[in-house]
Amino acid sequence: MFETLDQVAEDIAKSLSEAASNRRSPMHTPVVGTADADVRIMVLRAFDRKCWTCRLHTDARSPKCEAIGKGAPVGLLFHDPDAKIQIRTKGIGRIETQGPVADAAWEAASNYARRCYLAQGAPGTLSEEATSGLPAVVEGIKPDDEQLVPARENFAVLLVELHTLDWLWLAHNGHRRARFTGGPGEWAGRWVVP
């Protein structure tokens, strides 16, 4: 099935494109790791194949935003158990709260998705009881645009420009693994032992 590095590179690009556009894709929610050794599941919102950049959304008050800032190492792990494919990526992430990318991402988000950014405390804030952090007035409802105005200042995008791709396919007749380094237009692929 995967006999050439070109086939593998194409599979990676197709898998990430599908993951960004199809919420039912098993790769839609990768594990994201930051340089402070913290990991979490996030939603892949977009993949730009030309620039090999992944876009995810986050709360600007979250600790990962401080850890990443204007540029820091970020790893993303994608897995499709049915296809038996794992894609590990490394790149440089940056947080954007303003500008065309953040503004367009905010405009494209549903009001349910935007509601998350109304939380009254930053992610990880301690609480005396189980809580969503949302104000009671929007708990369990789809807020209107006016109710969401204060949420915009808490919204940020995480952009990760990929520089390393590590692809693993588990197969009964022998696993296959390939690694690509460099970046858009400069990818250099090599087969590696799984």
Task: Judge whether 110 lies within some domain.
Answer: no
**Residue 109, domain member (yes or no):** no
Distance CA 7, CA 16 (A): 14
Range of the domain at 56: 5-104+156-192
Q: Is 49 inside any structural domain?
A: yes
CA distance 79 to 84: 8
Per-residue confidence of the chain (194 residues) as pLDDT tens digits? 789 999 999 999 999 999 999 999 999 999 999 998 899 999 999 999 999 999 999 999 999 999 999 999 999 999 999 999 999 999 999 999 999 999 999 999 999 999 999 999 999 999 999 999 999 999 999 999 999 999 999 999 999 999 999 999 999 999 999 999 998 889 999 999 99
Q: Could you tell me if 64 and 142 are in contact, meaning their C-beta atoms sit under 8 angstroms apart?
A: no
Query: With contact defined as beta carbons under 8 Å apart, do 160 and 179 qualify?
Result: no
Residue 169 covered by a domain = yes
Provide the strand spans (E) within the chain: 31-34, 39-41, 44-48, 53-59, 72-80, 85-96, 155-169, 176-181, 188-192
pTM, full prediction: 0.94
Residue 43: inside a domain, yes or no? Answer: yes
- Residue 116 covered by a domain: no
- Provide the H-helix boundaries in the chain: 5-21, 63-68, 100-108, 111-115
Is there a domain that residue 36 lies in? yes
- Which tokens go with 91? 């790149």
| CATH code: domain of residue 13 | 2.30.110.10
Q: Total structural domains in the chain?
A: 1
Assigned domain for 111 exists: no
Q: Classify residue 99 as exposed, middle or buried by CB count within 10 Å of its CB (0-12, 13-18, 19+).
A: exposed
